[in-house]
Amino acid sequence: MASPTDISTIYESIIATILGIWLLLTILCQFRNTKFSGYIRHKVDVFGLIPLWTFFAPNPGKSDYHLLYRDKIDEDIHGDWEEMDITEERSLWSWCWNPDKRDKKILADVIQSLVASIPHYKGDKGYDLLMFSMPYLIVLHAVSHCKCNSGSVQRQFMLAETSGYLKETSPSVILLSVFHQI
């Protein structure tokens, strides 16, 4: 008769073998364009247990977005453009304590959603309906809560895009809003 230690050794060996096969298949299936990967994913892995890690794919970010705003001081006089921080410098303690991380992440995601939705709102009258979209309203809300230096009650925002780490190209304007009451 087998002792309890023999049975636990058998169980451990079976589990280690299963996990080893799973790890091996996961590594081999990271290469999507192979026949083996296609066969495993479509025929063998019916429960979707083999992950596919695409950290920066299929469309990696190639540009940075900048959110700027300005106030209308007088009918003909506008304030200077000020950039709203949508990213932040990482500190040594960011991994442990980063209370602004969610707000910045939400704003960055909403800006990407706004940029993606711009082509859908282009019409004969311009971007009039874009102002009623949820991403536009969220960005407007965030910009409206920035400190107002001029005592103005009207604010305009702009989305600009830069490409490359070294800022090899000059920024291009993606969206320029109308002046809104704040």
pLDDT of amino acid 111: 92
Residue 55: pLDDT band by 50, 70, 90 thresholds?
Answer: low
pLDDT at 51 over 70: yes
Q: Is 135 helix (H, G, I), strand (E, B) or coil?
A: helix
pLDDT per residue over 114-140, tens digit each?
A: 998 888 887 666 667 888 899 999 999
Question: Rounded to whole angstroms, how far apart are CA atoms 149 and 110?
Answer: 26
Query: So what's the pLDDT on residue 136?
Result: 94
- Bridge partners of 82? 69
What is the structure's pLDDT at 128?
74
pLDDT tens sequence across 144-173 = 988 877 677 899 999 999 886 666 678 899
Which among 163, 162, 168, 154 has a CA at the least distance from the CA of 75?
A: 154
Query: Does the pLDDT value for residue 48 go beyond 80?
Result: yes
In this prediction, residue 53 carries a pLDDT of 76
**pLDDT, average across residues 2-25:** 90
77-119 pLDDT per residue, tens: 888 999 998 877 777 887 788 787 888 888 989 998 999 888 8
Structure-token match 């080893």, residue found: 20
Assess contact for 88 and 104: CB atoms under 8 A.
yes
The pLDDT of residue 47: 83
**How confident is the model at residue 137, as a pLDDT?**
94
Q: What are the helix (H) ranges across the chain? A: 4-28, 35-39, 101-121, 134-144
Residues 172-180: what's their mean pLDDT? 92
Report d(CA 88, CA 90) in Å as an integer.
6
Q: Which is more confident, 125 or 22? A: 22
- Residue 64 tokens, joined: 């940075």
* Threshold 0.75, pTM exceeds: no
pLDDT for the residue numbered 140: 95
| Whole-number Å distance between alpha carbons of 163 and 102 | 24
pLDDT for res 5? 79
Which residues have a Cβ under 8 Å from the Cβ of 171 and sit 6 or more positions away? 66, 160, 161, 162
Do residues 154 and 90 make contact, with C-beta atoms less than 8 angstroms apart?
A: no
Closest CA to 66 of 136, 144, 135, 161: 161
